[in-house]
């Protein structure tokens, strides 16, 4: 089995450095462009199945990649973005940075001491639910010898990759940084155990936009 794990394309909130989480923000036109470029880069990959977060930005990314293919697309809450509770909608970088966003900035800068607010999730919970999704997919006998597309989000994708690598230390969560919009990582599953084959592949020509907090 091969897993093609992709982060969604850009949204207006990505561009404005606003916290998204469970907020259902659609792709912007640039994000759709990135998804189309990624679709072109993956045009020779024969997908047998596809899973997406139910949030529209991930779902639309998957739909663009799968356009013209007869591949079922299944929504799964296990790969939904992390819930950030009351932080969602806050601008956390640049000249419009919200003064109340300092607590959220720990999520990137001091992850081990990040404290969720409201109904927000902990990093541990995110690692557990993405890990459960990964275990379920990798042990599905119907998916053996199949290629599977997984469309998800920045934090959820990082949690998936950390589960694959066995990196469950919360303080090391962002060791490899935030995946770029439409970055693709390929994992190969052998006897139910996934391993990274290629990481952070980019199929568009534009310079990769890095996420900087502060």
- Assigned domain for 207 exists: no
Count of C-beta atoms within a 10 Å radius of residue 37: 18
Question: pLDDT at position 210, please?
Answer: 64
Look up the CATH number of the domain holding residue 10: 3.40.50.1240
pLDDT in tens, 32-78: 999 999 999 999 999 999 999 999 999 999 999 999 999 999 999 99
pLDDT in tens, 164-183: 999 999 999 999 999 999 99
- Assigned domain for 214 exists: no
Question: pLDDT at position 94, please?
Answer: 82
- Tokens 């990135």, residue located: 34
- Assigned domain for 91 exists: yes
pTM of the shown model = 0.96
Q: Cite the active site residues.
A: 8, 81
- Is the CB of residue 182 less than 8 Å from the CB of residue 38? yes
- Assigned domain for 212 exists: no
pLDDT in tens, 93-123: 888 889 888 899 999 999 999 999 999 999 9
pLDDT band at 211 (very low <50, low <70, confident <90, very high): low
Domain span at residue 106?
2-201
- Assigned domain for 209 exists: no
- Assigned domain for 211 exists: no
Q: Please determine, for residue 208, whether its predicted confidence score (pLDDT) is greater than 90.
A: no
- Tokens 């969602």, residue located: 88
């Amino acid at each position: 089995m091969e897993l093609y794990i992709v982060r969604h394309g850009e949204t207006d909130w990505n561009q404005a450095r606003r916290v998204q989480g469970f907020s259902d923000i659609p792709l912007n036109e640039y994000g759709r462009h990135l998804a189309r470029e990624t679709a072109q880069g993956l045009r020779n990959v024969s997908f047998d199945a596809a899973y997406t977060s139910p949030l529209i930005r991930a779902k639309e990314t998957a739909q663009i990649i799968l356009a013209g293919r007869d591949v079922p697309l299944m929504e799964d809450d296990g790969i939904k973005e992390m819930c950030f509770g009351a932080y969602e909608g806050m601008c956390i970088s640049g000249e419009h940075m919200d003064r109340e966003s300092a607590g959220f900035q720990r999520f990137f800068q001091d992850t081990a001491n990040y404290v969720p607010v409201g109904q927000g999730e902990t990093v541990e919970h995110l690692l557990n639910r993405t890990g459960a999704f990964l275990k379920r997919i990798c042990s599905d006998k119907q998916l053996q010898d199949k290629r599977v597309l997984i469309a998800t989000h920045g934090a959820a994708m990082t949690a998936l990759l950390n589960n694959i690598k066995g990196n469950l230390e919360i303080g090391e969560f962002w060791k490899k940084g935030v995946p770029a919009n439409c970055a693709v990582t390929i994992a190969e599953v052998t006897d139910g155990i996934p391993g990274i084959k290629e990481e952070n592949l980019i199929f568009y020509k534009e310079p990769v936009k890095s996420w900087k907090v502060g």
